[in-house]
A and B are shown apart, each in its own frame.
Chain A
Amino acid sequence: MSVALSIRQARPSTALRSPLGLAISSLSRQPVAMLAMAVVLVVVVLAVGAELIAPFDPASADWSALREAPSRAHLLGTDDLGRDILSRMIYGARASLLASVISVSIAFAIGVPVGLCAGYLGGIVDGVITRFTDAMLAIPALIFAVSLAAFLGPSLINAVIAIGVAAIPVFIRLSRAQAMGVKFEEYVEAAYVVGNPRWRIVLKHIFPNIVPALIVQATLTMAFAVIAEASLSFLGVGQQPPGASWGNMLTTAKNYLEEAPWMAIWPGAAIFLTALSFNLLGDTLQDVLDPRSRPRVAG
């Protein structure tokens, strides 16, 4: 109790700064988090500037350079069609980033308003939304995404939609719990008493309070989305060849483990590093922004 009290009392001083400013200033004091931030920035730069940075066309086959080991000409080697692996990795970053940004936006845009409504309105609305969320959570996220992608048809954008939809329940649960936590706070009741309409209370008084927890959850969901996009593309329902994704690069690599093991190393390492960085950032932000609750990671 005393801990909770001291956090509440501490609020006014931290509230002077925006959550983002607070996050950036405290991240900058943690070397590991800075490293994770750097990895994410590199991925962003590679994804945005792929055309300028990639040394080769990621789709152009070179029949005279099939499965060449890393060399000065091809820093990370070439694949089964003689395509430059480094260039494909750089374009693959685009698929990964696209997947994480868009799917998290979908989950956020649908999950947060629905969760807020459930938490603030309560009653039958809450009951129905909660049962529906339970139903969505009962279907393992990846299996749900695979089947959704299958019915929608295999493509990167459908895979991204599927990942976003699979991540919705986590955001519903989180915003619902947070909204329920603050709805009986005095300032919310005061806002109601002075005659604010409900939508305004939710938007102006409840939502700003749950932003820190949502930032943390969004970062952790980015990690989930990176792995999920790679997984779907690896299974063949995500990015379609000849388009490059770290996941579908591993699908081909698996057939040449004896002859060209390097094909399997780099894309996997990229997925792992990117997901690790998002998870590290999420954990650090958690400690800074929202130490009281631990959101669940979509599984």
Chain B
Amino acid sequence: MTRFLLQRIGLMIPTIFFVSVIVFSLQQLLPGDPALTMAGDEASPALIAEIRAKYHLDDPLLVRYGKWVAGIAQGDLGISLRTQQTVVQLLTQKIPVTLELATLAMIIALTFGISMGILAAISRGGPMDYVARCIALFGISMPAFWLGILFILLFAVKWRILPASGYVPLTENPLENLRSMIMPATVLGLAVSGVIMRHTRSAMLQVLSNDYVRTARAKGLSETTVIFVHALRNAALPVITLGALEFGQLLSGTVLTETVFSMPGFGKLVVDAVFNRDYAVVQGAVLCTAVVFLLLNLFADLAYAAVNPRLRGR
């Protein structure tokens, strides 16, 4: 297990190095003088000089990369040109909103995706399988922001039962918080549930073809017991670990849903930063996302190895 852990971490280091290279290279894509572009149209020469010094723009490329990485290692992701806050401050402000949204969405996605996946697997080739697969295909093809707009049209404009946009902090008013979260979380959750349903279906089908399931059936256990006690237990594991990989899709989704529902979270921060040409914030957000994704991947792998005896011995 320790060897497996070290091996996985060893593989992660070069990956993180390449992530940092990609994120750093984004800056090189800026057309013209980056200091001028970053400072904006009506910048004073003093500000431009300050940016030039701050980002070491007069240094050679490699030196600049080294200084940038050294800064990150000390928790310095740069300063937002727009708000003058540090990027780390901005991120920690916005992440709770997105964390709540993503958690609710994941609960919806897992509940819906896993139950549809089980239904599809046990009625393989039957009408239920067909319906479930259609729903999954619809979920994968549906642009999340359009679904969000349709929800607003229906629940906020037509029936007026839910607020169209905005966010109420959980600590301020839990009920209003939930009301403002239902639509975005459902939109985001449904987008991911299609993929989870497909994973569950194939994992269940694989498990159901195992000998021990046949034995369980042969010794006279009810179908419910076979499916929920024997099969699901083994099928759920790959689904949950694969669920961790859907985190990326979930974060991509927050960029759109938070924009549609005007929620002050991580996704909205990225979009606003893109428009304000707040490049340090964009870079910080991308780097942060990638590192969290890699860590989640690592945990998923470890969790999988921890419960899978075939990997445990390695």
Q: Which 5 A-B pairs have the closest CB atoms?
A: A268-B146, A135-B18, A142-B252, A299-B249, A140-B248
Beta-carbon nearest neighbor of A274 in chain B: B141
> Mostly helix, strand, loop or mixed at chain B's interface?
helix
Contact status A253-B149, CB under 8 Å: yes
**A272 with B143: in contact, given A143-B252, A150-B277 (CB under 8 Å)?**
yes
Give A residues with C-beta under 8 Å from B: 128, 131-132, 134-144, 146-153, 223, 227, 230-231, 234-237, 250, 253-254, 257-258, 261, 264, 267-268, 271-272, 275-276, 279-280, 283, 297, 299
Contact status B22-A223, CB under 8 Å: no
Whether a CB of chain A sits under 8 angstroms from the CB of B132 is no
15 A-B residue pairings within 8 Å (CB atoms)? A134-B15, A138-B294, A139-B248, A139-B290, A140-B251, A143-B251, A146-B255, A151-B27, A231-B145, A235-B274, A254-B260, A257-B157, A276-B137, A279-B137, A297-B195
Whether a CB of chain A sits under 8 angstroms from the CB of B311 is no
Contact status B19-A235, CB under 8 Å: no
Distance (Å) between the CB of B38 and the closest chain A CB? Answer: 11
Taken residue by residue from 133 to 148, chain B's Cβ proximity to chain A (1 for < 8 Å, 0 otherwise) reads as: 0000110111101100
Which residues of B, 98-156, contact A by the 8 Å Cβ criterion? 137-138, 140-143, 145-146, 149-150, 152-153
Contact status A146-B270, CB under 8 Å: yes
Q: Which of A231, A258, A264 contacts B150 (CB 8 A)?
A: A264
Whether a CB of chain A sits under 8 angstroms from the CB of B95 is no
Which of B11, B19, B138, B260 is packed against the most chain A CB atoms within 10 Å?
B19
> Across the interface, which residues of B come within 8 angstroms of A137, CB to CB?
248
Whether a CB of chain A sits under 8 angstroms from the CB of B307 is no
**A264 with B256: in contact, given A152-B29, A230-B143 (CB under 8 Å)?**
no
Question: Once the chains are docked, how many angstroms separate the CA of A250 from the CA of B251?
Answer: 21
Taken residue by residue from 144 to 184, chain B's Cβ proximity to chain A (1 for < 8 Å, 0 otherwise) reads as: 01100110110001000000100000000000000000000
Contact status A271-B252, CB under 8 Å: no
Distance (Å) between the CB of A299 and the closest chain B CB? Answer: 4
Beta-carbon nearest neighbor of B31 in chain A: A153
Distance (Å) between the CB of A217 and the closest chain B CB? Answer: 15
Beta-carbon nearest neighbor of B245 in chain A: A299
Beta-carbon nearest neighbor of B260 in chain A: A254
Contact status A132-B18, CB under 8 Å: yes
Whether a CB of chain A sits under 8 angstroms from the CB of B246 is yes
Q: Which of B15, B16, B31, B271 contacts A146 (CB 8 A)?
A: B271
Contact status B141-A147, CB under 8 Å: no
Which residues of B, 220-279, contact A by the 8 Å Cβ criterion? 246, 248-249, 251-252, 255-256, 259-260, 270-271, 273-275, 277, 279
Contact status B249-A140, CB under 8 Å: yes
Contact status B141-A272, CB under 8 Å: yes
Question: Once the chains are docked, how many angstroms separate the CA of A151 from the CA of B22?
Answer: 13
Whether a CB of chain A sits under 8 angstroms from the CB of B36 is no
Beta-carbon nearest neighbor of B27 in chain A: A151
> Across the interface, which residues of B come within 8 angstroms of A147, CB to CB?
26, 270, 274, 282-283, 285-286
> Across the interface, which residues of B come within 8 angstroms of A253, CB to CB?
149
Contact status A275-B141, CB under 8 Å: yes
> Across the interface, which residues of A come within 8 angstroms of B297, CB to CB?
138
Beta-carbon nearest neighbor of A149 in chain B: B274
Contact status B15-A131, CB under 8 Å: yes
Which of A148, A231, A258 is packed against the most chain B CB atoms within 10 Å?
A231
Distance (Å) between the CB of A283 and the closest chain B CB? Answer: 7
Question: Once the chains are docked, how many angstroms separate the CA of A250 from the CA of B144?
Answer: 12
> Across the interface, which residues of B come within 8 angstroms of A131, CB to CB?
11, 14-15, 17-18
Whether a CB of chain A sits under 8 angstroms from the CB of B293 is yes
Contact status B274-A268, CB under 8 Å: no
**A268 with B150: in contact, given A138-B19, A139-B289 (CB under 8 Å)?**
yes
Distance (Å) between the CB of B115 and the closest chain A CB? Answer: 22
Contact status B249-A271, CB under 8 Å: no
Whether a CB of chain A sits under 8 angstroms from the CB of B30 is yes
Distance (Å) between the CB of A295 and the closest chain B CB? Answer: 13
Distance (Å) between the CB of A220 and the closest chain B CB? Answer: 9
> Across the interface, which residues of B come within 8 angstroms of A134, CB to CB?
11, 15, 18
